[in-house]
């Protein structure tokens, strides 16, 4: 898989959770988690905000623009952080591309 960037072909594709992955709020702790088969990943607020948008309806570019609009004080680092986060989850098989 090529490197994720605005210039890559991924900018116009839509990330979505893999079929075996589920995003939810843990009933005991109230914290967001990503469930996948036998793995439970605890998410921070940022990770949860990103993954909520990975529903297959937004392109990668749209997803990043929405986050930049919501967090306008992120001083330009937000896009790169989102790209890195999504790249890691894609590599782990937790995201697929439509």
Q: Which two tokens stand for residue 53?
A: 């948008």
Is residue 4 situated within a structural domain?
no
Digit-by-digit pLDDT tens for the chain (98 residues) are 456 665 666 788 999 999 999 999 999 999 999 999 888 999 999 999 999 999 999 999 999 999 999 988 876 789 999 999 999 999 999 999 99
pLDDT score, position 53:
97
* Number of domains present in the structure of the chain: 1
C-beta of residue 80 within 8 angstroms of C-beta of residue 5: no
Q: What angle do CA 66, 71, 62 make, to 5 degrees?
A: 15
Q: Which secondary-structure segment (H or E) carries 13?
A: none
Q: Which two tokens stand for residue 67?
A: 């986050």
Is residue 89 situated within a structural domain?
yes
For residue 67, give its domain range.
9-93
Is residue 15 situated within a structural domain?
yes
pLDDT score, position 48:
97
Is residue 16 situated within a structural domain?
yes
Handedness of CA 50, 51, 54, 55 (dihedral sign): negative
The model's pTM is 0.85
pLDDT score, position 15:
95
Is residue 70 situated within a structural domain?
yes
Is residue 85 situated within a structural domain?
yes
Give me the CATH number covering residue 87: 1.10.10.1150
pLDDT score, position 45:
94
């Amino acid at each position: 898989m090529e490197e994720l960037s605005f210039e890559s072909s991924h900018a116009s594709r839509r990330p979505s959770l893999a079929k075996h992955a589920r995003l939810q709020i843990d009933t005991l702790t109230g914290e967001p988690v990503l469930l996948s088969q036998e793995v439970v990943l605890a998410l921070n607020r940022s990770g949860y905000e990103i993954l909520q948008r990975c529903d297959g309806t937004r392109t990668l570019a749209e997803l990043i623009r929405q986050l930049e609009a919501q967090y306008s004080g992120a001083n330009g680092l937000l896009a790169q952080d989102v790209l890195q986060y999504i790249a890691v989850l894609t590599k782990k098989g937790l995201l697929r591309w439509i």
